[in-house]
Amino acid sequence: MKYLAEFRDPELARGLVEKIHRTVTRPWVIMEICGGQTHSIMRHGIDQLLPDKITLVHGPGCPVCVTPLETIDRALAIAVREKVIFTSFGDMLRVPGSSDDLFRVKSRGGDVRMVYSPLEALRIARENPDHEVVFLAVGFETTAPGNALALKQAAGEGLTNFSQIVSHVLVPPAMEAILSAPDNRVQGFLAAGHVCAITGWEEYEPLAETYGVPIVPTGFEPVDILDGILKTVELLEDGNPGVANQYLRAVRKQGNPAARAVVDEVYEVCHRKWRGIGTIPLSGLRIRDDLAAFDAERKFDVTGISTEEPTQCIAGEILQGLKKPDECPAFGKECTPMNPLGATMVSSEGACAAYHKYSRKGAL
């Protein structure tokens, strides 16, 4: 199968592992940004094949995990209302709010529906003109174009019963927040290949130069990840910070101009709170004022809902690469996939979920 089987080739993987072992001479801490990469690393045991000198830590690139608690609480406040059809991708339904989640709202009779595309939510709005249809639009630069296109189409059709709760976040400001923190230990990054397929990698160049780190846009298959680690290690060992594109089959320097244009047309950059981390300046997207009629938070007047994060969950430290999931005292005990304290245990891209699923439970 082209572009899949060859990137799982055991001989290619073995060769890359051997080359990484030959190349490394000093300890290095490398962060994979994307939760999809984290799960691939755990699933294929890549972390167990690397030299002891390489430490992989897991970044904030799980969109479900970083959606702030107050956004979930605002979504819940809307979902319980009469004549509201609340739509969301499946991962978000089990993310705990302060005292509830969307699945429980559904079990009590709320009209909460899982969709696979924002265009599906748009179709529901067309078919139910007497109901308000709300879509929970979360994610990084990867999902923003599709969500923006759905809102643009709703505006063009005059579908006034469609709106979005938007909690989009941007990768480069999060990377800068990590690098500029006094307790940062990250020395190189595997950047998320699907994000870079939209944005390109030009915006990573100033970060690499300012903070003296290598940044390598990387794919998601075992050979991709091992190749990305090798490229990062080579740059580190050579003392040569910069951007090296591993994901050549999907990522271009300029990204996808059409996708970027529709995002800029519908959304604008704003300060954004990240779950477990706090507010990162200019790290999010919100609906532009001229499209405010499609902003569910303003439409349903829930912007005043603000919530403090629980102290027992250390997801924030995990998402910043300061700790690993199995270093959490609640991991696998008070916090499990069936009874999660935080989103990192519930999301299909969450680091805690990956450690639990693939039995990385060394601290227990």
Which tokens belong to 304?
Answer: 């005043």
176 CB contacts (<8 Å, ≥6 apart)?
Answer: 207, 211
Cα–Cα dist 191/171, whole Å: 9
Q: With CA atoms as reference, report the closest residue to 123 among 156, 150, 102, 144.
A: 150
Q: How far is CA 220 from its chain centroid?
A: 14
Task: Please answer whether residues 247 and 194 qualify as being in contact, where contact means their C-beta atoms are separated by less than 8 angstroms.
Answer: no
Domains and CATH numbers, the chain: 65-170+256-299 (3.40.50.11740)
Can you give the pLDDT of all 364 residues of the chain as single tens digits?
A: 466 778 889 999 999 999 999 999 999 999 999 999 999 999 999 999 999 999 999 999 888 888 988 999 999 999 999 999 999 999 899 888 888 999 999 999 999 999 999 999 999 999 999 999 999 999 999 999 999 999 999 999 999 999 999 999 999 999 999 999 999 999 999 999 999 999 999 999 999 999 999 999 999 999 999 999 999 999 999 999 999 999 999 999 999 999 999 999 999 999 999 987 889 999 999 999 999 999 999 999 998 888 777 677 888 888 888 888 989 999 888 888 888 887 788 777 889 988 988 876 543 3
- Run of H or E including 42: helix 35-44
Task: Please answer whether residues 30 and 24 qualify as being in contact, where contact means their C-beta atoms are separated by less than 8 angstroms.
Answer: no
- Run of H or E including 153: helix 144-157
